[in-house]
Chain A
Amino acid sequence: MTGYRPEWIGHRSRVQFAELLKVQSKLALREPLALFGGLALPAILLAVFGFIGQANPGNVGSTGLSIIDVWTPTILVLSFIFIAVSLPNTLVRDREIGWLRRVSTTPLHPSRLLAAQLVIDLILAAAAVLIVLLEAALVFGASLHVQILPFAVSLLVSIVELFALGLVLVALVPTQAVAQPVAGVVTFGLMFLSGLWVNPAQVGDPLRTIMYFSPSGAAVKAVLDSAFNGGPSYAALLTMAVYTVIFGFVAIRYFRWE
């Protein structure tokens, strides 16, 4: 039990994590709910708005932006939402069947399982960004004027905030049977607030304010502003930061491995 060297532990835990990532990725491919929600569904929804935009040229309200422009950020955030709410589907199940507990009897702490899942979902979110942006720009001619840094920051903060919300669901939802309807309701609420059906630019107060200061509405606002207007909305970024702290606190406070 003696003679552990730090660099050796580092190497071993990298080997462990690589093996874990490999197996978790294979599982993700075999249970492709997040893949469908995170990649396919946004691509399809974007196409829907693309065709609506082609049939209705002109600007949305007073935004100076076309339909495809306005809805591209919404669809981006939607893909993050779908990936985030798929977290409870696997993790609540894994806890419910005793898998996390089983792993906790080995030298690997089950938090590494969670970390591997988050890494995979992060890669998935990055793929979603690439697919949606390419589709929007190349297929439907969205007039994106992206400034890389503010845009990347807005996307990253949106992802972190929504994943934290996904982890809140993992922490609070007791069983897989409960996870599905809860995730459904949360998804629906977030989709509405993100402006999928009615854009905040087209509605009056107080709904507009509520949307702008909701977890998904703030994400869309930050991404939209940095995609066209150069800088992100600091109010939206700050809103998301506050949500992230709250979600993070609740998720950590109530998280259970068993």
Chain B
Amino acid sequence: MSAAAAVTVHHLVKKYGHLVAVDDVSLSIHEGEIFGIIGPNGAGKTTTVECISGLRAPDSGSISVYGLSPRNDRNKIREFVGVQLQESALPPRIKVREVVKLFASFYTNPLDPDQLLESLGIKQFSNSSFKNLSGGQKQRLSIALALVGNPRLAVLDELTTGLDPEARREIWSLIERMKDRGVTVILVTHFMDEAERLCDRLALINHGTVVALDTPEAIAARAGGSRVRFVPSQPVDEQTLRAIPGVNEIERKERYVTVTGTGDLAGSLINALAAIGVRVSDVEARTGNLEDAFIKLTKDDSLSVGKGIQT
């Protein structure tokens, strides 16, 4: 374990009755990074962060948060871990500033409630009741409550679900500013653009197991790189295509040929085909992204069953 590890999870297992929610998750989160946890619904993302936050007791495995155990040192952990829960509401008639001030009183070294509301852009709603807030305002308030204790670790579950694109972008820049202040962030999300934009590293969880743990770029590269679809001016046989550098897979549908592979695929294809007198038209090229990797890694059962790939 390196000294820079903020959170380490070793062989975490959590069952609800017969349902295995988390089946042997191990990961290590560095201090000061934004660590994303992605995966399909029901993969065990929320259960994992709930165990890290001390809200649930693991059935087996161990968790260390800044050297403390979330269950045994729960009182100390709560001082410096801020949690934003998925689907957690406040009493309908509680007011924005009132509840942030109340939460501030729970902590030893809280942030200034007014400054926090200002930086979250909800200062003008200080006197509004929770029930009258819009989805975006509720979400910002929820983040305010997670941050008001001036945490070293912030656990944010489904941060931007239900927000419009503008509100999402504002919240993203807020998370980046938190990182600049040195806060370690665990972000649970099912938005790939959010994970790609914000996270330093990602754990992709499927069926309760970590199937990939790497930077977003490295995981995206697992999707198999680029995909090029084109219409050749005359039929090209498979052997010719396979001989082109970087080509992995070939699919044909009507006039279209779709090639997946790595490197500058479109360039190599066009050059190689031009050399044998074949022109290509209707070219559509796409680089592999996190979403492709996500689909590939969660659909492909040979990867998700068993221990999967861990890096």
Which residues in A have some Cβ–Cβ distance to B below 8 Å? Answer: 1, 12, 15-16, 19-20, 23, 26-27, 30-31, 90, 93-94, 97-99, 101-102, 104-108
| B76-122 interface (Cβ within 8 A of A) | 76, 78-79, 81-83, 85, 87-91, 93-94, 98-99, 101-103, 105-108
Residue B145, interface by CB 8 Å:
yes
Question: Residue-by-residue, is B272-311 near A (CB-CB < 8 Å gives 1, otherwise 0)?
Answer: 0000000000000000000000000000000000000000
Interface of A is mostly: helix
Q: Given known contacts A30-B93, A98-B88, is B101 in contact with A105 (CB within 8 Å)?
A: no
Q: Given known contacts A1-B76, A23-B94, A31-B93, is B87 in contact with A106 (CB within 8 Å)?
A: no
The size class of the interface chain B forms with chain A is 20 to 34
User: What 5 A-B pairs come out closest when comparing CB atoms?
Assistant: A98-B88, A97-B89, A105-B83, A19-B105, A30-B93
What A residues does B4 contact at CB under 8 A?
none
B102 and A20 within 8 A (CB): yes
How far is B85's CA from A23's CA once the two chains are assembled, in angstroms? Answer: 22
Closest to B87 in A: A98
A98 and B105 within 8 A (CB): no
What A residues does B93 contact at CB under 8 A?
27, 30-31
B89 and A99 within 8 A (CB): yes
Closest to B146 in A: A105
How far is B117's CA from A116's CA once the two chains are assembled, in angstroms? Answer: 26
A23 and B106 within 8 A (CB): no
Contact of A107 among B88, B91, B106 (CB under 8 A): B106
Interface of B is mostly: loop
What B residues does A108 contact at CB under 8 A?
106
What A residues does B76 contact at CB under 8 A?
1
What B residues does A94 contact at CB under 8 A?
91
How far is B107's CA from A105's CA once the two chains are assembled, in angstroms? Answer: 11
How far is B75's CA from A16's CA once the two chains are assembled, in angstroms? Answer: 15
Which residues in B have some Cβ–Cβ distance to A below 8 Å? Answer: 53-55, 75-76, 78-79, 81-83, 85, 87-91, 93-94, 98-99, 101-103, 105-108, 145, 149
How far is B75's CA from A26's CA once the two chains are assembled, in angstroms? Answer: 28
B55 and A106 within 8 A (CB): no
Q: Given known contacts A30-B93, A98-B87, is B55 in contact with A19 (CB within 8 Å)?
A: no
A30 CB to nearest chain B CB (Å): 4
How far is B79's CA from A91's CA once the two chains are assembled, in angstroms? Answer: 25
How far is B99's CA from A23's CA once the two chains are assembled, in angstroms? Answer: 8
B98 and A106 within 8 A (CB): no
How far is B94's CA from A104's CA once the two chains are assembled, in angstroms? Answer: 18
Having A23-B94, A98-B88, A107-B75, one finds 20 other A-B pairs with CB under 8 Å, namely A1-B79, A16-B106, A23-B99, A27-B94, A90-B91, A97-B91, A99-B88, A99-B90, A101-B85, A102-B85, A102-B90, A105-B53, A105-B78, A105-B81, A105-B83, A106-B78, A106-B149, A107-B79, A107-B106, A107-B108
A99 and B91 within 8 A (CB): yes
How far is B53's CA from A105's CA once the two chains are assembled, in angstroms? Answer: 7
